[in-house]
Every structure is written in C-alpha cells, then in structure tokens.
Structure 1
Amino acid sequence: MPARTKARKRALDVLFEADLRAADPLEILADHTARADTPVPEYAVRLVEGVAAHRAEIDRIIEQFAVGWTLQRMPTVDRNILRLAIYELLWVTEVPDAVVLAEAVKLAQDLSTAESAPFVNGVLAAVRANQATVTASPPPGEPPD
C-alpha cells in the first residue's frame, strides 16, 4: 500500500475517533502519536492538522454539495472521508484531484456502506467541478492570493 494511502487511512482513523468522542482531532492525534507502535506518518499529521484548521469551512462546503443530507445524518465515516478529501482537494496542491477522489472512494468502499462510495464520489465530484467558486482560505501562515 502506498505511503500516502496509509497516511490517509491513519488520518481518517484519527478524525473518525475524534468525531465519535466529540473531541479535538489534534488531541486525538497527539494521543495516537504518543501511543503508536509505528510512527504516525507526517502526511497523516498534515491532513489532520489541515482538517482541524479548516473544519468549519470544510463542513460548510460539505453541506453545500451534499444535497439532501445534513452532516449529522451522514455516517460518521463518510463525513470524515469527505472532510479529508475536501481538505486535500482545496489545500493540498501537489496531489492530483483524480487521486484524491479515487482514494476517498476506495476508503468509502472499504469502510462504509454500499451506498457510501457513490455518495462520496458525487459530493467530491461536485466540489471539484465547482472549485473555482468554492472559497478556500489559505493554509495557516500563508497570505491570501
């Protein structure tokens, strides 16, 4: 399994746990880092930190494009797959959009319901198609364009 694929899965584990516990993802990340038998990949840390930093904005985007669904109504894993993938689509420029979508759909296929993969694909495809109109704030520490 490629390194970034593993990192996405680790990041999803952290985000999922934080969501279930209604906890700060950064605290869960710190806990995972402290007790991990294997180090938490740097890319997983980047993803969790990015989602945490932009969560309100990401959730607004999900609600905009997940027609007929509220965040609370979505399966927890789907909600966090979407958070992770939207962060990558909008703030991680070195990963091709097609890779982000494929990885998110694969996570949904492996970890969620039969309906989840098409749902995740549809939401992410809509976000991708509307990237020019979706406002993404700059990463922390970077000035706006």
Structure 2
Amino acid sequence: MTNIFKDSRRDLRERAFQTLFALEFGGEALDQAYFAYTYDKPIDEETEVDLPSFLLSLVTGVREELPQLDSQIEEKLKEGWSLSRLIMTDRTLLRLGLYEITSFEETPGRVAINEIIEIAKKYSDKTSAKFINGVLSQFVTDEA
C-alpha cells in the first residue's frame, strides 16, 4: 500500500474535524476517517489507501480522551455555559484543538489554535472563531 496523496497537516486537521463531526451521528471511526480522507480524491475501487497516522492519531485520541477533554473545556466556559449549549461544530473544534495542544508537543500551542481557527472560519462563522480562540488560548502559556 502506498500513500498517493500529498497531505498538509492543515488538510489532515480538517479531515479529522470532518470525521469527528460525522461520528457525532454514529458510525465507525475508521470508516468515517476513510470517507473524510478520500471523498474528494480520484481513486478507484482497487486502489488501497493508507490513512495518514496524523489523521488517525487526532481522531482516535479525541475519541479516547473525550471525557477529559470535555471536562477541561467545561472548566474554561463562562458560568452558565456548558458544552451541550454549544453548536456541534464549535464543540468538535474545541475538542480537536485542545487534544492537539495537550498531546502533540511538536506543535506549538499557538499554531494548533490558529489552525483550528482557520477551520472554524470555513465551517462556522467569525463569532465562533473568536469564541474558540478565547477558550483554547486559556490552555496555552506564552513561550518566552
């Protein structure tokens, strides 16, 4: 099996978001990740596709650490707010962003936040992007 696609980490983050969003409606993680990764790529039925490890790490990591991520996010929301009050897009992006901030030391926290904000601008609106920035920024300490 070969990886016939050139993938940027930004593209893979977006596909991880699509996978996690779809999983809110059910299904198997691997099937959803495969679809999110290949739906817009020219492949035939005989082509074997390896899913990138970064994509799989994001999806499986968020799923495995969901209760901890949700608890950490809830602590940073203003009084009277809960994850259940947020739209699914924002909730999914917060989980994905926080997971990358806390689990991928090679990615600076500010970079992870910026990447999630760019995805938010595409799938949500400017208000959501600002909100997500405000919440996730609380998890990043400034590097001197």
Give me the TM-score of the superposition, normalised by structure 1: 0.77
**Residue type at the aligned position of 2:96:** L
In 1, distance between residues paired with 2:59 and 2:32? Answer: 13
In 2, distance between residues paired with 1:122 and 1:99? Answer: 14
Give me the TM-score of the superposition, normalised by structure 2: 0.78
Q: Which one of the candidate residues 7, 14, 29 is aligned to 2:12?
A: 7
- By how many angstroms is 1:98 displaced? 1.3
CA displacement, residues 16-60 of structure 1 (integer Å, 9 cap, x when unaligned): 0111x1x36xx1333442793554432111100110111000000
In 2, distance between residues paired with 1:128 and 1:118? Answer: 16
Q: Which of 87-96 and 29-38 deviates more?
A: 29-38
- By how many angstroms is 1:65 displaced? 0.7
Structure 1 unaligned blocks of 5 or more: 131-145
Q: Computing the radius of gyration over CA atoms, which structure comes out larger, 1 or 2?
A: 2
CA distance 1:57–1:3, change in 2 (3 Å): same
In 2, distance between residues paired with 1:79 and 1:34? Answer: 21
RMSD across aligned positions (CA): 2.3
CA displacement, residues 65-95 of structure 1 (integer Å, 9 cap, x when unaligned): 1214211111111111110110011111111
Residue aligned with 1:33, SS:
helix
Matched, 1:42 2:43: no
Which runs of 4 or more aligned residues in structure 1 lie more than 3 Å from their structure 2 counterparts after TM superposition? Answer: 34-40
Contact 2:29 2:59 in 1 (8 A): no
Q: Percent identity?
A: 31
Residue aligned with 2:75, SS:
helix
Aligned length, in residue pairs: 126
